[in-house]
Amino acid sequence: MNISTILVVSPMYKELQTLIEKEVPQKNFRFIPEDGLTQNDLSWADALVSFNLKADYDYSHVKWVHSLGAGVDRFLYKKDWNEAVLLTRTICSFGQRIAEYCLSYILKDLQFHDVFQEQQGQKNWKQQTPRLVGNQKVLVYGTGEIGQMIAKVFSGLGVDVYGVSLSGQEKAYFKKVMKLDSHLSRLSEMNYIINTLPLTEKTEKVFNERIFSHLSNAGFINVGRGASVDEENLLQALSVNHVSFAVLDVFAQEPLPENNPFWSHPRILITPHISAVTTPNEGAACFLETLKNIEENKPLKNIVDIKKGY
């Protein structure tokens, strides 16, 4: 595949320009912010490098689209895709970042941080014994690269890590992997639930009353996609203690609207989609490696299966 004109659209376009242009001076680039993109720019380009564009565009005339994030639902979810257009995604430190993000909130719960902070305000000296992370059972939805890194980090601390995937195929670091349609009987055993699933038509609002009703005071962490969660069902699950607390980094609508009840819920912790941020250095490195592999006709480890949506 011959790629000569490349369009890079990102809030960090200036940083990417500094890192990329010097590495491939023979290419013709345009680096622009998200609000500067037009369909004419896409008509000019052989390739688009971007992530989570807010508007809909026609990508059918470029040869290659490269996502600066791990997710590609903004390009594929409920959209028609020209299968002649190559779609790749960024692979970098996402798994490690997300594993540490999830671990931090689970340790916060096990070590009673909120309880002791409240007692400090009351000058109340009352001991509680922190629970051990190695005694916990964690269920990770999604056993791809990110899910496997979570399993590796957690299992290294003695945690029993279970997985759920569409196929149910066994993967390293998981005690057991179950199919999405046949795992409900194990949910009541789990202390924490972590979602890393991509957004597809099969995973839209998959976290609903059907799953939440089988939980027993479990913590829920969503680092996958916001639209995978039925928000009303999650609030109901919190109200009846099927879910003890929720840590939410992703939402169906971002930024989260000010009138969303999640903001004020005492047992919901909100972060602004930061569990796995692409740094300029990592984004540039993955793009440059992918470009090199395309031009040298080498296998692409980050190619997206259009039919699966990830």
The per-residue DSSP string of 81-102 comes to: --TTSEEE---SSHHHHHHHHH
Q: Does any domain span residue 305?
A: no
Q: What is the mean pLDDT of the chain?
A: 96
What is the extent of the structural domain holding 70?
5-92+278-295
Residue 146 burial class via C-beta count within 10 angstroms: exposed 0-12, middle 13-18, buried 19 and up: buried
Q: Mark whether 81 and 123 lie in a shared domain.
A: no
Q: Mark whether 125 and 262 lie in a shared domain.
A: yes
Distance from chain centroid for Cα 233:
21
Q: Mark whether 252 and 115 lie in a shared domain.
A: yes
Q: Mark whether 283 and 194 lie in a shared domain.
A: no
pLDDT per residue as tens digits for the range 223-263 = 999 999 999 999 999 999 999 999 999 999 999 999 999 99
Q: Mark whether 175 and 198 lie in a shared domain.
A: yes
pLDDT at 272: 98
Sheet holding 5-9, edge to edge: 28-32, 5-9, 47-50, 64-67, 86-88
- Could you tell me the sign of the dihedral formed by the alpha carbons of 7, 11, 16, 18, in that order? positive
Q: Does any domain span residue 149?
A: yes
Q: Does any domain span residue 303?
A: no
178-186, long-range: CB < 8 A, 24+ apart? 180/141, 180/206, 183/139, 184/210, 184/211, 184/214, 185/214, 186/139, 186/162
The CATH number that applies at residue 21 is 3.40.50.720
The conformation of residue 294, written as its DSSP 8-state character, comes to: H
Q: Does any domain span residue 302?
A: no
Interacting residues of 203 by C-beta distance below 8 A, sequence separation 6+? 197, 224, 225, 228
Per-residue b/e over 150-168, b at no fewer than 16 CB within 10 Å? bbbbbbeeebbbbbbbeeb
Q: Mark whether 130 and 257 lie in a shared domain.
A: yes
Comparing CA positions, the residue from 54, 212, 240 lying closest to residue 141 is: 212
Q: Mark whether 149 and 73 lie in a shared domain.
A: no
Q: Mark whether 101 and 245 lie in a shared domain.
A: yes
Domain count, the chain: 2
pLDDT tens, residue order, the chain (310 aa): 999 999 999 999 999 999 999 999 999 999 999 899 999 999 999 999 999 888 889 999 899 999 999 999 999 999 999 999 999 999 999 999 999 999 999 999 999 999 999 999 999 999 999 999 999 999 999 999 999 999 999 999 999 999 999 999 999 999 999 999 899 999 999 999 999 999 999 999 999 999 999 999 999 999 999 999 999 999 999 999 999 999 999 999 999 999 999 999 999 999 999 999 999 999 999 999 999 999 999 999 999 999 999 9
